[in-house]
Amino acid sequence: MYRKHAIEDTTKYGEYWEEQFEYMPVQYIRIVLNSKNENAALAEIQVPAYGDNIALGTLKRGGWWVTGAGINVPTLFDGGMTDFFDMKILTDWDWKPGGAYFVWDLGATFWVDTIVFLGQPRAWAGNSPNIVSWIQGYIIKVSDGSLNPGGVSEVPEMGGRDFEQIVDVDNMAEPHRYFFMHKFPKRRVRYVFFRHAHGTGNKRSRGGGGAHIVEMPIYGEGYPAEVVLESPIIDLGEIAGDKKAKNVTAISWVADTPPGSRLVIKTTTGNSLIEEIHYYDKGGKEITKKKWERLKKYGQEGPKIVIYKPGADWSPWSRPYEDPSGSSFLSPSPRRYMKLRVKFISEAPEVTPSLSSISVHYDIPLLKAAEATRGVAKS
């Protein structure tokens, strides 16, 4: 199933040949020329893919996951076919206490119309009886992050978000399947909920092994439906070399918002920071301070990274700003530090807003201005 090749000789000079097959996972491609022809030449090889796999960028976008079993969910979106998520074999009424589920945050909201399930057939893992990994069944639900009117979610960790069921697979009948492609009308998706279903709960017939999910590619169309960007902490005391707080009076911005798209801009301010120090070995793995200091004695330590986060005195995020030509500042001021949050929203896949710049307008706090004036009078 995974190794299609040409039956006849296709290396004759000037001949065009194309092999097409249904969607299937491919990690390696090997091309072998097994005959010689005078003046033969290979001009070009094209390998069109199904589309951009949204799942691959989960970690870079700040996405996260929760699971009842503490299993390594990122194996589902690492792009590799050598590791897997081990889903427990459980019945419909004990999937949650047994941990046979996960919730996956894509890190942004996309227009999604396809979710693919790639299991692990025995042929991929040798003949071990512990790798009989077809899944008995599963349910997939998705959410754009909207809250359920009743404030209740099937998974408490999701804080009452509203999920819509789009997939219900019963795979108990033979022949058991390992690959599934689920297509559905485009919808806004940020969270994916997956759980085992239609199971017997009997692991003994499976050699003690669970259902192995190798990858779960996710596909869509158009611009992301919603993306949230936050600025780093802005030190207002560093502006113009003055270490004192600034009195921010307004902000303005330059943006393009085609019909069906919009920006939501908010601010927060504060005077204190919390310092977090992270220690790493040379391989990039985070380690304890004690282990890092031990490695440092022998020159074997990795980087020491200091991260600053808002302190306890920071204000909540402000109301959205409305006038791009200049809106009065809505967060407490004067303060030493501030952050900006911008949400890009598209109501249709083919449109998206763009932001060119944000300007912060400020003056010297009244008390400082009075002190400066008094100082001039004295001189």
Q: Which pLDDT does position 264 carry in this prediction?
A: 96
Distance from C-alpha of 255 to C-alpha of 292, rounded to nearest angstrom: 46
Residue 358 has what pLDDT? 94
CA distance 259 to 340: 24
Residue of 192, 182, 164, 229 whose CA lies nearest to 66:
192
Residues 6+ apart with CB under 8 A from 72: 83, 85
Concatenate the DSSP letters of all residues of 86-117 into one string. Answer: EE----TTSHHHHT-EEEEEEEEEEEEEEEEE
Delimit the CATH 2.60.120.260 region(s) of the chain.
54-221
Query: What does DSSP assign to residue 246?
Result: B
Contacts of 361 (CB under 8 A, 6+ apart): 248, 249, 250, 251, 252, 326, 329
The DSSP line for 313-366 is TPPPP-PPP--TT-EE--S-SSBSEEEEEEEEEESSTT---EEEEEEEEEE--H
pLDDT at 374: 42
d(CA 298, CA 282): 12
Cβ-contact 356, 254 below 8 angstroms:
yes
Tens digit of each residue's pLDDT, the chain (379 residues): 333 444 444 444 445 455 555 666 777 777 777 777 777 777 777 777 778 899 998 988 888 888 766 566 788 888 887 777 778 777 777 777 777 888 899 999 999 999 998 887 655 555 444 455 688 888 999 999 888 776 566 666 677 788 889 999 888 888 888 888 899 999 999 999 998 888 776 655 554 567 888 889 999 989 999 999 999 999 987 655 556 667 899 999 999 999 999 999 999 999 999 999 999 988 888 889 999 999 888 888 889 999 999 999 999 999 999 999 999 999 998 888 999 999 999 999 999 999 999 999 988 665 544 444 444 433 3
Query: What confidence score (pLDDT) does residue 130 get?
Result: 47
**Rounded alpha-carbon distances, angstroms, from residue 378 to 79, 105, 364, 367, 374:** 70, 62, 20, 17, 6
Q: Which fold has domain 54-221?
A: Jelly Rolls (2.60.120)
| Ramachandran category for residue 96: left, alpha or beta (phi over 0 → left; psi -120 to 50 → alpha) | alpha
